[in-house]
């Protein structure tokens, strides 16, 4: 099967890096090419750019760096996921943690029970309070009626 251009390029670079002398020669040629491009003006240095071009270039650098960091983070997470052992099932928890968990659920159950008891007691107290208010109003009206009849009897 034929190799793609990317695969051929990767193989070439790999062979270049394996032979140190060839790799140094390649790096020197690349430096020379860069220097020639700079002299011709194909590549501008930061000193030779306008303020606007400089801002645009810095924006590109920031974007590239952000992309590189996200890529590195995703690779790091992938490596960590493959290197870490699988998660243990909940059944394999130590007995101490299971005991603490049981205490926790029992404690929550007790809190709920106490709260329900308080609400029931509060409801009964409110009912009793309403009953006492009605009794108070009943006896107040009786007293006022008695006073009115006593006034009429004394006047009449």
- Between CA 109 and CA 101 the distance in angstroms is 12
The residues near 46 (Cβ < 8 Å, ≥ 6 apart) are: 54, 57
Q: Tokens standing for 22? A: 């060839």
Which among 80, 100, 115 is the end of a domain? 80
Answer whether residue 96 is part of any domain.
no
Q: 73 and 17: one domain?
A: yes
- Other CB atoms within 10 A of residue 2 CB: 5
Q: How confident is the model at residue 119 (pLDDT cuts 50, 70, 90)?
A: very high
Say yes or no: 76 and 131 in one domain: no
Q: Are 16 and 23 in contact (CB under 8 A)?
A: yes
Q: Mark whether 74 and 131 lie in a shared domain.
A: no
* 15 and 75 fall within a common domain: yes
**Does residue 130 sit in the same domain as residue 74?**
no
Closest CA to 55 of 46, 42, 43, 64: 46
Tell me: do 129 and 76 sit in the same domain.
no
Is 142 inside a domain boundary? Answer: yes
Place 114 in a pLDDT band, splitting at 50, 70 and 90: very high
**In terms of domains, do 21 and 74 share one?**
yes
Predicted TM-score (pTM) of the model is 0.39
Kindly state whether residue 12 falls inside one of the protein's structural domains: yes
Q: What is the pLDDT of residues 33-89, one digit of tens each?
A: 999 999 998 888 888 889 999 999 999 999 999 999 999 999 988 888 777 777 777
Query: Per the structure, how many domains does the chain have?
Result: 2
Task: Please answer whether residues 57 and 49 qualify as being in contact, where contact means their C-beta atoms are separated by less than 8 angstroms.
Answer: yes
Point out the domain boundary residue: 51, 80, 109: 80
* Domain region containing 149: 125-156
């Amino acid at each position: 099967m034929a190799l793609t251009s990317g695969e051929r390029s990767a193989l070439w670079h790999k062979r270049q890096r394996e032979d140190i002398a060839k790799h140094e020669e390649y790096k020197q040629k690349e430096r020379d090419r860069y220097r020639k491009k700079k002299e011709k003006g194909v590549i501008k240095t930061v000193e030779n750019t306008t303020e606007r071009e400089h801002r645009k270039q810095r924006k590109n650098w920031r974007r590239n760096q952000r992309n590189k960091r996200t890529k590195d983070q995703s690779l790091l997470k992938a490596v960590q996921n493959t290197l870490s052992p699988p998660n243990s099932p909940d059944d394999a928890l130590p007995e101490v943690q299971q005991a603490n968990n049981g205490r926790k659920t029992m404690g929550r159950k007790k809190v709920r029970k106490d709260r329900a008891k308080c609400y029931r007691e509060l409801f009964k107290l409110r009912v009793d309070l309403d009953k006492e208010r009605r009794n108070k109003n009943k006896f107040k009206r009786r007293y006022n009626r008695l006073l009115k009849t006593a006034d009429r009897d004394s006047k009449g």
